[in-house]
Amino acid sequence: MKKEGTVKLISAEGMEFVIDKEADMVSQTIRNMLTSPGGFAEAEHGEVTFPEISDVILEKICQYFYWSLQYSSSQDWKARLKIPPPDTRHKT
């Protein structure tokens, strides 16, 4: 059960990320889906499913939303988003 003021983002694998609605509104596309008077099901349920986005990528997107909220108006260039490089080991 999600709390009031939160939005549930669901990855292609079914992983659920419950984040603050304010963080989710960083994305103009998601904002439109959740606030449009067009009657999107997402707005009614407060859930957005991304059938083409893996859980690993969606997690990074959520991290970016929070980072953007914290640093988007900051002039502090030290406050950079640190994303570790992808796993480059080859599986045999």
CATH of the domain at 34: 3.30.710.10
Tell me whether residue 79 is in a domain: no
Distance between CA atoms of residues 16 and 13, nearest Å: 9
More confidently predicted of 15 and 1 = 15
pLDDT in tens, 37-83: 776 778 888 899 999 999 999 999 999 898 888 877 666 645 565 66
Tell me whether residue 89 is in a domain: no
Task: Tell me the residue ranges of DSSP E strands in 3-84.
Answer: 6-10, 16-20, 47-49
Tell me whether residue 91 is in a domain: no
Tell me whether residue 56 is in a domain: yes
Quickly state the pLDDT bin for 89 (edges 50, 70, 90). Answer: very low
Tell me whether residue 84 is in a domain: no
Structural domain span for residue 35 = 6-71
pLDDT of 52 reads 96
Query: Tokens in use for 72?
Result: 């988007």
Q: What's the structural domain count of the chain?
A: 1
- Give every strand in the sheet of 16-20, ordered side by side: 16-20, 6-10, 47-49
Predicted TM-score (pTM) of the model is 0.73
- Residue whose C-alpha is closest to residue 24's, from 62, 51, 54: 62
What residue has token string 């939005």?
7
pLDDT of 16 reads 95
Tell me whether residue 77 is in a domain: no
Tell me whether residue 52 is in a domain: yes
Tell me whether residue 12 is in a domain: yes
Q: Which residues pair with 47 in a beta bridge?
A: 8
